[in-house]
Every structure is written in C-alpha cells, then in structure tokens.
Amino acid sequence: MHEIEGLLSSRSIDVCLIQEPATDCKGIYLFDRRPYRVVASGVGPKAAIVVANPAVGILTLQHLSTPHISVAVFTVGNRRLVLISAYFQFLEPTQTHVDALESVLDSVSGNVLVCADVNARSTLWHERGEMVVELIGRKNLTVNNLAGSVNTFINRGSACLDVTLTSYGVNVADWTAVHNLTSSDHAIISLHRTVRA
C-alpha cells in the first residue's frame, strides 16, 4: 500500500479504485489514517475507492456497497460519475458477484465507471468469463481494456482478470496496464476519463 500511496502523490492521481487492499484492524491500511477519503464497506473489505484530491466531491453510496463492491458518486464541477470498485472472490461462485454488481448497476443512473478484478478469463476458454460477458451485454457497458494490451495479472500464468467498464457517455482515454510499479501480481491500470455534461 506504500507503493500505491507513493503513486497517488507522484502522479497527482485524484481517485484510485482498489481491489484486494491490505487491511488492518482500523480499515484500509495507510489510507484510513492519512488525509484521504476512503469508500469501503465491512470488516476486511475486498474493494475500495480512495480519493486523494480534496477538490473532488465524493458521495458514498453505502446502501449499495458491500465488502466486495464499493460505490460512490464522484463530482467535479457539474460533472457526475458513479464509481464502482468490485472484487469477485475467486473461491466463491462468479454468478454471486455478477448478480451483486448487476443489482448495483440497476440501482444507479447516469455515467458509470466500473473497475473490477473479475477473476475470470475470456469466454473463449473459461466459463467464468462468460457470466461477465453476459452482464456486460445486458447492461450495455463498454470494455475499455485495449485489445492486444498486456495481461493485467502475471503470476504462475498470466491473464486479463481486471476489467474497466463504462456506460454510454463516459469516454476513457490513455488506458494502460503497467507492471512493476508495485509488488502486486496485478498491473496498475491507469486511465483518464471524460464525461459528457
């Protein structure tokens, strides 16, 4: 988490959506006792939203958040974006997490950005991925991961387990997945977003 904190300040990052954050008895390690605003639910949350820029408005949607999904409304000026950080626990049925995310998507309106570790590979060779692709189609979301980009997870094998999804009206630019910025086996995904007013 020290590495992520360093990236927030050195790269002037406004908001960070984290899956599988390091936690301690106080919450999200480091971020719960620094000048950050943290959106996370439950004890030992698996998904979080960390706001580093004090000029950014953030409204936590606690009634939609669970230990595996953090939901907040991000505002800058008159622009509004619903942020969803989601983690699909590998040892739990994928359908459980797909249903939970779909329920959140059914409950929000407007522009949406989802960053999720879905722990599922492409439908071409893995049935977990098929459930995720069906959700994307039902909710008319756009996958922003660039075709041919590096895999977002590298350990004993490699795969694209982390996905960036947006609703119509949200444009993502400069989507990149970079390894070796942290000691994690997942890449840091960086992007710039624009929202139609």
Whether 181 shows a pLDDT value over 60: the answer reads no
Q: What percent of the chain has pLDDT over 90?
A: 26
Q: Which architecture characterizes domain 55-195 according to CATH?
A: 4-Layer Sandwich (3.60)
Q: Give the per-residue pLDDT at 125.
A: 37
Averaged over 136-162, what is the pLDDT?
A: 67
Per-residue pLDDT of 113-148, as tens digits, reads: 898 888 776 554 356 678 888 898 999 998 876 555
Across 91-119, average pLDDT: 92
Q: With contact defined as beta carbons under 8 Å apart, do 144 and 166 qualify?
A: yes
Q: Measured between alpha carbons, how far is 126 from 115 in angstroms, rounded to an integer?
A: 20
**CA pair distance 119, 197, nearest whole angstrom:** 33
By three-state DSSP, how is residue 41 classified?
coil
Chain segment 39-97, per-residue pLDDT in tens? 899 888 999 888 888 888 899 999 999 999 999 999 878 888 899 999 998 889 989 99
